[in-house]
Amino acid sequence: MIDTAAQILCELIRIESISANSNLDIIAYIERALAAAGVTSRRVPSADGNKASLLATIGPADKPGIVLSAHTDVVPVDGQTWTVPPFGGVIRDGRVYGRGATDMKGFLAVVLAAVPRLKQAATIAPVHLCFSYDEEVGCRGAPDLVRALMQSVVPPALAIVGEPTTMRVVRAHKGKVARRITVTGRTGHSAMPHRAANAVDAAAAIAYALRSLADEEIARGGDTAFDPPFTTIHVGSLHGGSAVNLVPERAVLEYEIRTMPGRSAGDILARIDGLVDRERDRLRATAPEADIVSEEISAYPGHDIRADHAATLLIGRLADDPQPATTVAFGTEAGLYGQAGIPTLVCGPGDMARGHKADEWIGLDELEAADAMMVRLADLLRRPGEHWMQTGGAHGDD
């Protein structure tokens, strides 16, 4: 079984599904793999048709089932020094090397290898396979995929997002909103700033105000299950101006907010919009054509499910993780499944510490551990009337 998963993983790595590319090749590969096992799937395409998510239900769609979620895209390898071909799919010393080995084609390969077994087992309750695009650039594919899932099946009883957690059960992570603010003022000689509108000045005022908001969040405090235990607001880039004797007419600032689960980014964004309005008015006092435009770069919700929720405990048993469920610093698509009302946990093979890096790898033993979870999952599907089947839609966040 593990040979099959490793073989599939090598083939998946060889398809260069970095987020900047179309992912239709890897989707076609997965479609063929599912079809070979007698499983039909359907695409949920992006608006421009260049990408697609894939959705497949194995077993009865009119019963609450279990979602297995993975993303098909990987981050680029630009500027990294690899000692193996990043898209070669090489097995060496008990490890599979390549971009995406850990994040997260390893889980995807284990799921695909397990499909024949899941198909045999899923007679009473279904398994839903949900494979998205563009997770690495802000969970862009998953919202439509989750919608398509919820429209086509009875609300699932639980979801496993197989991001690399070394098979620990993860119950919560922060949400994120990233935005770009573009300030357009009016240029002029620096001796006559009163006839110009200084875009850098406005951007700096916004950056300074963001720091005050960040300090407020620190003071508000939060949950020590997270590091740091508060919502963070951070300016990632600020560009503008070209010469000291010219009033800059353009400045671009990028910032992000990482919210504690339960803390709404909307409140903070509304206040930022208010200070953007104030700065726009200031610029327009001398330059009516001036403007400040905010655009979203990426966003995904936080996620939180109780450590003692039935779904959390069940996934703990499936993953053979005896420790209390934990939290992670990175974001996932779990919040989107959670928002749809599905009790969702993050649990998968590999270590995110190896993700996004040169010589990314996953151990065959790690694939083995994930495969063991699929075996336990298949056993669970065969048992009628289990408690987990009654909990569909009962979301356990707090």
List residues with catalytic annotation. 73, 135
Q: Which of residues 84-103 bind Zn ion (CB under 5 A)?
A: 103
Q: Which residue is nearest to Zn ion (CB)?
A: 103
Give the sign of the dihedral formed by CA 138, CA 136, CA 355, CA 75.
negative
Total chain residues near Zn ion (CB under 5 A): 3
Where do runs of H (alpha helix) occur along 291-363?
A: 310-319, 334-339
CB of 103 to Zn ion, least distance (A): 4
Q: Which residues inside 152-171 make contact with Zn ion, applying CB under 5 A?
A: 163
> 300, 301, 343: which is closest to 325 by C-alpha?
343
Minimum separation from the CB atom of position 140 to Zn ion (A): 13
Rounded Cα–Cα distance for residues 349 and 334 (Å):
16
DSSP 8-state assignment for residue 288: T
Determine, following the binding rule CB under 5 A, whether residue 336 of this chain makes contact with Zn ion.
no
Cβ-based nearer residue to Zn ion, 249 or 333: 333
Q: Which is nearer to Zn ion, 104 or 247 (CB)?
A: 104
Nearer to Zn ion, 106 or 188 (CB): 106
Q: Which is nearer to Zn ion, 134 or 397 (CB)?
A: 134
β-strands 326-327, 170-173: how paired? parallel
Q: At 318, phi and psi to the nearest 5?
A: -65, -40
Q: What is the DSSP secondary-structure string of 136-149?
A: TTTS-SHHHHHHHH
- Beta strands 127-132; 246-247: pairing state: unpaired
Cβ proximity to Zn ion: between 20 and 270 the closer is 20
For residue 230, report the phi and psi dihedrals to the nearest 5 degrees. Answer: -155, 165
Distance in Å, CB of 160 to Zn ion, minimum: 14
**Whole-number Å distance between alpha carbons of 395 and 287:** 51
The rounded distance, in Å, linking the Cα atoms of 281 and 55 is 48
* Contacts of Zn ion in 169-208 (CB under 5 A): none
Min dist CB 51 to Zn ion, Å, is 16
- Under rule CB under 5 A, residue 333 binds Zn ion: no
Nearest approach in angstroms of CB 355 to Zn ion is 7
Please tell me the distance from the alpha carbon of residue 330 to that of residue 297, in angstroms, as a whole number.
17
Rule CB under 5 A: say whether 104 interacts with Zn ion.
yes
Would you tell me which residues interact with Zn ion (CB under 5 A)? Answer: 103-104, 163
